[in-house]
Amino acid sequence: MSKVQVGRLAFRKEGTMWNAYYALPDTMEDSELLGSLQCAFAGEGCFYRTVFMDMMSEIVADIIEEATGTRPTMPGPTKAPEHERSGHA
């Protein structure tokens, strides 16, 4: 069976929040906000940031598994596409 990317988990710093979204593979358009964490607790390498990211990953995997009957494999973190990074249109 071949693997198909049905979506992705995207994390974005927006104002004072570190937000988690479920998004389609190539766009943030129509993405769904899943949860938020105050940036004060979401610094790079911070314990709470890691716990938050792991929890959001498990939530997305649970939702996809419930809908499809198959638990997805979740790749490790990757950088956002260039067109989605801060300062880009």
In a domain, 88, yes or no: no
Mind giving me the DSSP string for 28-66? Answer: EEEEEEEEEEEGGG--TT-HHHHHHHHHHHHHHHHHHHH
pLDDT score recorded for residue 1? 61
Q: Which domain holds residue 67?
A: 8-72
Beta bridge partners of 12: 19
Instruction: Tell which residue, 86, 70, 63, 82, has the closest CA to residue 8.
Output: 63
What local confidence, expressed as pLDDT, does residue 7 receive?
85
Residue 77 domain flag:
no
Residue 85 lies in a domain: no
Model confidence at 89: pLDDT above 60? no
Confidence of residue 86 (pLDDT cuts 50, 70, 90): low
Give the whole-angstrom CA distance, residue 53 versus residue 66.
20
- Please give the average per-residue pLDDT across 8-18, as a whole number: 92
Question: Residue 22: inside a domain, yes or no?
Answer: yes
- Condensed to tens digits (0 to 9), the pLDDT of residues 31-49 reads 999 999 999 888 888 899 9
The structural domain count of the chain equals 1
Residue 44 falls within a domain, yes or no?
yes
